[in-house]
Amino acid sequence: MTTTTASSSKVQTFEIAVLPGDGIGIDVTREALRVLDAVAASLNGVAFVCTEYPAGAGEFVRHGNPLPAATLEACGNADAVLLGAMGLPDVRWPDGKEMTPQLDLRDRFQLYCGLRPIRLFHERDSPLKNLRAGEIDMMIVRESTEGLFSARLSHSDSEKGEVCDVMRITREGSERVCRAAFREAMKRRRICTLVDKANVLPSMVYFRSVFDEVAREFPEVEARHCYVDAAALYLVQRPGSFDVLVTENMFGDILSDLAAGLVGGMGMAPSADIGENCAVFQPSHGTAPDIAGQGIANPVAAILSMAMMLEWLDDPRTRAAAARVRNAVECALTDPAIRTPDVGGELTTSGMTAAILAAL
Ligand code: ATP
């Protein structure tokens, strides 16, 4: 399916590859496109050509490949990729692992910089007491091409009664993600915290040494270190003290779910995976098979991920559109009744989007 959204005939066109994927990925991508349509209608001289491509566990069941070559090629050619979520617990490779084409995209296009913004929109959304809206406002920068996740592609022979997953940390991978984190910090409160386990793991000692080198390039930013176990504690005890956190792949995976839990859950947590020439925008959540197809998934994370895409396209008009979408979400969420069931409300997926569109 291809849809074009334009407001005039002479326009700058952005090609968006849309991969709804599986489960609630399909439900929430539809809503992100509704908001993109609405915001694009008021943009002069900018058009979005959104073309849907198959990928995911469902696609594997239908045609035998979770990431068809044509989809991969389209992602490489597009200006940006908008992704829902992928994988289903019942659809697995013979070795027992789930289908994860979204991770294959990160490897294929070297999407090393996983941006996971976490913001508390309303005090009632947090399980923590005595917080005000906006008091939690951090950016987790997750290295997304190496770390412990790189072990997923290695072969292990459990017949021998021992399996090892290797934490792969390279100078190139560490330098580029640390630089990206410091650049994020420059746009924010200028505090960049490395989350590691440098008291135990040699890979993390190396990661820290590279972080410290990169820190010297950014004297305006306060560079801090925190062990990952302590970071989990401080995220709960004093989340407002964090600005930008940078960490390896697996720690980032775990801490970004924890941080999402502080602001209302996975449905409130957008994300972007950025490389040098390609970027994928998707909610931080998975396919949530427990609620898929029921019309109750929270579309906020997907809509905010779409806003991150508008920001990244780096045209003054799309950046302004991104700000409009973020403001509309923020404005809609000031009313605690405007919520889907995961955050204690009663709205449907489509009703939640309607409230955001009204604010837009
Ligand atoms: P993955 O491993 O792919 O990240 P997961 O199985 O760890 O996925 P999710 O699919 O993200 O986890 O879901 C975790 C929980 O959060 C589920 O109970 C799900 O219902 C809930 N959840 C996730 N996303 C949403 C959403 N957009 N709206 C409502 N609930 C959600």
Q: Residue-wise pLDDT tens for the chain (360 aa)?
A: 455 555 545 789 999 999 999 999 999 999 999 999 999 999 999 999 999 999 999 999 999 999 999 999 999 999 999 999 999 999 999 988 899 999 999 999 999 999 999 999 999 999 999 999 999 999 999 999 999 998 887 777 777 788 889 999 999 999 999 999 999 999 999 999 999 999 999 999 999 999 999 999 999 999 999 999 999 999 999 999 999 999 999 999 999 999 999 999 999 999 999 999 899 999 999 999 999 999 999 999 999 999 999 999 989 999 999 999 999 999 999 999 999 999 999 999 999 999 999 999
Ligand 1 center to 285 CA (angstroms): 5
Domain co-membership, 339 together with 360: yes
Structure tokens at 196: 């590691």
Q: Can you tell me whether residue 84 is helix, strand or coil?
A: strand
Do 235 and 146 share a domain, yes or no?
yes
Instruction: Provide the 10 A C-beta neighbour count for residue 94.
Output: 5
Look up the domain containing 210 and give its range: 113-152+166-269
- Nearest residue CA, atom 14 of ligand 1? 288
State residue 151's pLDDT score: 84
Q: What is the largest CA-CA distance in the chain?
A: 65
- Distance between Cα 85 and ligand 1 center (Å): 10
Tell whether 123 and 212 lie within a shared domain: yes
> Rounded CA gap, 357 and 354, in Å?
5
Q: Is residue 138 part of a domain?
A: yes
Q: What CATH number is associated with residue 58?
A: 3.40.718.10
* 45 in the same domain as 19: yes
Tokens of 125: 């959304």
Residue nearest to atom 9 of ligand 1 (CA): 286
Domain boundary (251, 269, 287) is at 269
Whether residues 107 and 202 fall in one domain: no
- Residue 11, pLDDT score: 86
Please report where in the chains the tokens 């560079």 appear, as a residue.
223
187 and 231 share a domain?
A: yes
Mark which of 237, 269, 301 sits at the end of a domain. 269
- Rounded Cα–Cα distance for residues 60 and 157 (Å): 25
Task: Say if residue 238 is in the same domain as residue 250.
Answer: yes
Ligand 1 centroid vs 166 CA: distance in angstroms?
A: 27
Please name every residue paired with 81 in a beta bridge, in sequence order, or none if there are none: 17, 280
Residue 157 lies in a domain: no
Do 130 and 243 sit in the same domain of this protein?
Answer: yes
Are residues 205 and 218 both part of a single domain?
Answer: yes
d(CA 36, CA 193): 33
Domain count across the chain: 2
User: Is residue 158 in some structural domain?
Assistant: no
SS3 category, 137:
strand
What are the tokens at 80? Answer: 């940006």
Residues in CB range of 93: below 8 A, 6 or more apart: 99
Task: Report the run of H or E that residue 312 belongs to, with start and end.
Answer: helix 300-312
Could you tell me how many residues make up the chain? Answer: 360
Question: Is residue 160 one of the residues assigned to a domain?
Answer: no
Domain boundary among 269, 293, 312: 269
Strand order in the sheet with 222-227: 2-6, 46-52, 12-21, 80-85, 279-281, 272-274, 113-119, 137-143, 244-247, 191-196, 222-227
**CA distances for 91 relative to 65, 87, 95, 115, angstroms:** 12, 7, 11, 28
265 falls within a domain:
yes
Asked if residue 161 belongs to a domain, the reply is no
Does residue 1 sit within a domain? yes
Check residue 10 and give its pLDDT.
76
Give me ligand 1 centre to Cα 296, in Å: 12
Q: What is the pTM of this model?
A: 0.94
Looking at the structure, tell me whether residues 217 and 318 fall in a common domain: no
- One DSSP character per residue, 166-223 reads --B--HHHHHHHHHHHHHHHHTTTSEEEEEE-TTT-HHHHHHHHHHHHHHTT-TTSEE
Q: Whose CA is nearest to atom 8 of ligand 1?
A: 286
Q: Are residues 20 and 67 in the same domain?
A: yes
Q: Are 89 and 104 in contact (CB under 8 A)?
A: no
Determine the Cα–Cα distance for residues 355 and 334; give it in Å rounded to an integer: 11
What tokens were used for 327?
Answer: 């403001």
267 Cα–ligand 1 center, Å: 8
Q: Could you tell me the sign of the dihedral formed by the alpha carbons of 116, 270, 346, 58, in that order?
A: negative
Cβ proximity of 58 and 23 under 8 Å: no
Whole-angstrom Cα distance, residue 270 to residue 274? 13
Flag whether 159 is in a domain: no
Same domain? For 136 and 6 the reply is: no
Around ligand 1, the residues with Cβ closer than 6 Å are 24, 28, 87, 265-267, 285-288, 290-291, 297-298, 301, 342
Question: Which of 353, 355, 335 lies closest to 344, judged by CA?
Answer: 335
The answer to whether residues 245 and 139 touch, using CB atoms and an 8 Å cutoff, is yes
Which pLDDT belongs to residue 314? 84
Nearest ligand 1 atom to alpha carbon 301: 27
How much distance in Å is there from the Cα of 344 to the middle of ligand 1?
15
